[in-house]
Amino acid sequence: MALRPIDNALPITPERPKKQAKVSVPVQKKPSEFGVNDENKAPLPPSADASVDYIPSENLKPFQDPESFIQSLIEGLDSKDWVKLCESLNDARRFSLYHSNLLLPILEKVILVVVKAMKNPRSALCKTSIMAASDIFNAFDEKLLDSTDSGAFDQLLLQLLLKASQDKKFVCEEADRSLNAMVKSMAPLPLLQKLRGYVNHGNLRVRAKAAVSISNSVLKMGLEEIKEFGMVTLLQMAADLLNDRLPEAREAARSIVFSLYKAFRENEEEIEEEAWQSFCQTNLPPNHAQSMVKVTLSSRV
């Protein structure tokens, strides 16, 4: 007997397998070590630096047992953990202010660590190192040049000038304070020898910051110190800066000229204006000599 077909029967189709949902797994980037020196990297977010306290010098305390802690300081300065390094730089500041005799044997190492930290793109580490430089200046003054290799101080000076010239305001202001501490604490003659080369630096902001430090150093000098450094040298330096592009450099140059003019008048038995004009004309190109005389004439108007 034949079977009758079932009415309205639908064809059976196989069920398609369901697609699996894609799961995204975040990939953590390996943090760079402190040893990487790249000033062109973008600064890290402010939240990353939130755990660092910027301690004013007056709030730093001496160690209870500094002799037993000096080795820990040396180890901490070698740390690649930036938070640990900030803590060690603050400890170096405490040694500078209260136990400088213990820091003296490793002072050059400390300076080189400070320089390296200034180059780091992490703002907290950079600022802490600049604060350390200020306390070192205040503690060691001109002895800093006698206790370290000349190259270490040169690196420190360059980094401070560069940091004072950048656009990041809170780093720039801290570097300005450190440069002022340097000028205030150190003897002007050896410092001027270090600064004089930067008035011809290719970076106009560095020139301006160097000019300010030079003018502040010259303000501390008496007649004999100015003569020892060289009146003609200062005259030519000021003349170059008077024609600089930045107002900060030109204002510093005018301050140098006033100090030099005052010393010149003390040195000369005759204080006639012709003697100063002759001095400028003898040692400068005509247009520079004229600018120099105008500056001193304006001071008496």
Averaged pLDDT, 174-203: 95
Using a pLDDT cut of 70, give the percent of the chain over it: 81
The reply to whether 2 falls in a domain is no
Q: Cβ(125)–Cβ(84) under 8 Å?
A: no
pLDDT at 49: 54
Sign of the dihedral defined by the CA atoms of residues 167, 169, 172, 176, in that order? positive
Same domain, 76 and 162: yes
Number of structural domains the chain divides into: 2
Alpha helices in the chain (DSSP H): 66-77, 82-98, 100-103, 107-118, 123-140, 143-147, 150-164, 169-185, 188-195, 204-219, 223-229, 231-242, 247-267, 273-283, 286-298
pLDDT at 297: 80
The reply to whether 202 falls in a domain is no
The reply to whether 220 falls in a domain is yes
Structure tokens at 23: 């799961």
Same domain, 115 and 158: yes
Same domain, 164 and 60: yes
The residues, any chain, with a CB within 8 Å of residue 168's CB and separated by 6 or more, are 43, 123
Averaged pLDDT, 17-38: 41
Averaged pLDDT, 97-102: 96
Checking if the pLDDT of 10 tops 80, the result is no
Q: Cβ(70)–Cβ(95) under 8 Å?
A: yes
Which of 186, 204, 230 marks a domain boundary? 186
The reply to whether 294 falls in a domain is yes
Averaged pLDDT, 65-83: 94
Same domain, 278 and 226: yes
Of 162, 178, 164, 256, the C-alpha closest to 216 is 256
Higher-pLDDT residue of 184 and 300 is: 184
pTM exceeds 0.85, yes or no:
no
Confidence tier at 301 by pLDDT (50, 70, 90):
very low
Same domain, 176 and 122: yes
Same domain, 181 and 245: no
The reply to whether 72 falls in a domain is yes
pLDDT at 28: 41
The reply to whether 157 falls in a domain is yes
Which of 150, 167, 186 marks a domain boundary? 186
Checking if the pLDDT of 129 tops 80, the result is yes
Averaged pLDDT, 51-57: 85
CATH number of the domain bearing residue 90: 1.25.10.10
User: 40-54, 73-87, 168-182 — which is least confidently predicted?
Assistant: 40-54
pLDDT at 149: 75
Checking if the pLDDT of 125 tops 50, the result is yes
Q: Give residue-wise pLDDT tens across range 152-171.
A: 999 999 999 999 999 889 99
The reply to whether 88 falls in a domain is yes
Confidence tier at 144 by pLDDT (50, 70, 90):
confident
Same domain, 79 and 182: yes
Checking if the pLDDT of 220 tops 50, the result is yes
Q: Give residue-wise pLDDT tens across range 242-287.
A: 999 999 999 999 999 999 998 988 877 655 678 889 999 999 999 9
Checking if the pLDDT of 99 tops 50, the result is yes
- Looking at every residue in the chain, the average pLDDT score rounds to 84
Same domain, 129 and 219: no
Checking if the pLDDT of 61 tops 80, the result is yes
- Count of residues in the chain: 301
Same domain, 101 and 219: no
The reply to whether 115 falls in a domain is yes
> Residue 142's domain spans which residues?
54-186
Same domain, 242 and 162: no
pLDDT at 29: 39
Same domain, 115 and 232: no
Same domain, 158 and 65: yes
